[in-house]
Structure 1
Amino acid sequence: MTLHRPIGRVGARSAKRALGVQAALEWAFRIEKAQLELPMPPDVTEEGFGFGLEYVLLQRAVLGCKIDGGQHKIGGYTHEDAEVIAATVAGLPDSLGGKRMAIRVAELARAGLTPDWMPGAVPRCVPTIVKQNQHGTHAGAIVVGTERIRVRSSGGSSAWKTVEILACPVTFSPHPHQIEAAWRGYEDWWQALGWVREGLIAGGMLRELEVTMAMPKMRPWEGSR
């Protein structure tokens, strides 16, 4: 997504700049370097300087990613509209992922990325064992059992012989569950963006920015099939 120049900080009477919610998020977090100030948990008092180091480290371990907040853009000014957008993201309800989703939305916006929904991925049946020899690459086999068969010799006599039953184990790559999980992750992000969009529009707190109804595609994989 192409980002335009930062919103001007003067001329309050000028027309508001219209952006879709994804572009507005990228402007706030990527251009203005807005920080995501997450609310304190109910068991932490407001005394002191907010989050303790132990709590921050614990949350980073639980969430598996870095928590924004506590640092402001050095040597610069963060546009107040960007701060409003960041505060709205931080208020995502638990029903839409809460703090974890807020962090995901902010990090994707800061990187200018859309969740990877694995475009073009098709489950393919592939062998789990692959061997190579002078003749090239071929699927490997494993012994899954034995069977006794009667073998007749050229002289007319017969004898019992035990032979191995071989099978080629296979799997699907990527697995359908992986693709489904990627689709669910995208849909969860899309719903979170819809909530942020509605909150920014209803709140009416943006001074120089106007968030439009534009949204990313809801299910981009349906149009790519």
Structure 2
Amino acid sequence: MSVQGRIGRAGGGKVKRELSVQAALDWAFRVEQAQLELPPPTDVTDEGFGFGLEYVLLQQAALGCKVDGGQHKMGSYTHADAEVIAATVAGMPSNLGGIRMAICVVELARAGMTPDWMPGAVPRCVPVETKQNQYGERAATIVVGTERVKTRGKWRTVELLACPVTWRPHPEQIAYARRGYDEWWQALDWVRDGLIAGRMLREVEVTTAMPKERPWFSTQPRAINR
């Protein structure tokens, strides 16, 4: 998504760049390289010594985010509006995923991506395993029992074969991906409302525009049974 927003004029003739919340996040974290500050652990009091090295390393490993102590990048300037955006994201409430969702929002913004909600995914009933022979690819079968049958006057024991099947992609896999997108969308909605209500941005104006909410409903495919 382009971060070149529409230019508008605020009161007093001051020019502001209008950006959707997704474009503003992209600009703050990918262009301005703003850093996300992690809140202190709940068991650390004001009289304590703050983060221990072990805690910082664990957070970096578990969350995949570089912990910033509040300083600007070495030899570079981070725009004040980008820092306001980063601070807003860092305050993500626990009912929306808290710091883990904040990390997700930041990493997607840095990559210029949206969550993969598996567009066009259609569950298909397919064999669990296939085998190749001289006639081509065939579904693998398993023996599920035996049966006595009479052929040409003689009783014979024959194997009962079945073909195990599964769904690919599995409906739960698709549902999981789309829950992730929906949670990300709710997080962006919260960030957008906070930035608009806070009125702390000086040169950027966040618009009400949002990514599509549950885009899979617009073209919902049917399951195919083969």
Same fold by TM-score greater than 0.5: yes
Over aligned residues, Cα RMSD in angstroms?
Answer: 1.9
What's the offset of the Cα at 1:38? 1.3
SS at match of 1:30: helix
Identity %: 67
Judge conservation of contact 2:3–2:19 (CA < 8 Å) in 1.
Answer: no
SS at match of 1:16: strand
Q: Name the amino acid aligned to 2:65.
A: I
Matched, 1:159 2:154: yes
Q: Provide the C-alpha distance between the structure 2 equivalents of 1:163 and 1:78, rounded to a whole number of angstroms.
A: 76
- Runs (5+) with no aligned partner, structure 2: 221-226
Judge conservation of contact 2:29–2:82 (CA < 8 Å) in 1.
Answer: yes
What's the offset of the Cα at 1:51? 2.6
Q: Name the amino acid aligned to 1:196.
A: V
Which residue is equivalent to 2:64? Answer: 66
What's the offset of the Cα at 1:60? 4.5
Judge conservation of contact 2:21–2:206 (CA < 8 Å) in 1.
Answer: yes
Max radius of gyration: which structure?
1
Q: Provide the C-alpha distance between the structure 1 equivalents of 2:211 and 2:101, rounded to a whole number of angstroms.
A: 17
Which residue is equivalent to 1:223? Answer: 218
SS at match of 1:2: coil
Alignment length (residue pairs): 212
- Select the residue among 184, 189, 214 that pairs with 2:184: 189
> Per-residue displacement from partner, 1:17-75 (whole Å, max 9, x unpaired)?
11010000000000000000010111124554x432211333345x4x41232274231
Judge conservation of contact 1:16–1:208 (CA < 8 Å) in 2.
Answer: yes
Matched, 1:17 2:17: yes
Which residue is equivalent to 1:155? Answer: none
TM-score w.r.t. length of structure 2: 0.88
Q: Provide the C-alpha distance between the structure 1 equivalents of 2:133 and 2:98, rounded to a whole number of angstroms.
A: 53
TM-score w.r.t. length of structure 1: 0.88
- Runs (5+) with no aligned partner, structure 1: 153-157
Judge conservation of contact 2:17–2:204 (CA < 8 Å) in 1.
Answer: yes
Q: Name the amino acid aligned to 2:203.
A: E
Judge conservation of contact 2:117–2:177 (CA < 8 Å) in 1.
Answer: yes
Q: Provide the C-alpha distance between the structure 2 equivalents of 1:210 and 1:131, rounded to a whole number of angstroms.
A: 59
Q: Provide the C-alpha distance between the structure 1 equivalents of 2:56 and 2:131, rounded to a whole number of angstroms.
A: 48
Which residue is equivalent to 1:142? Answer: 142
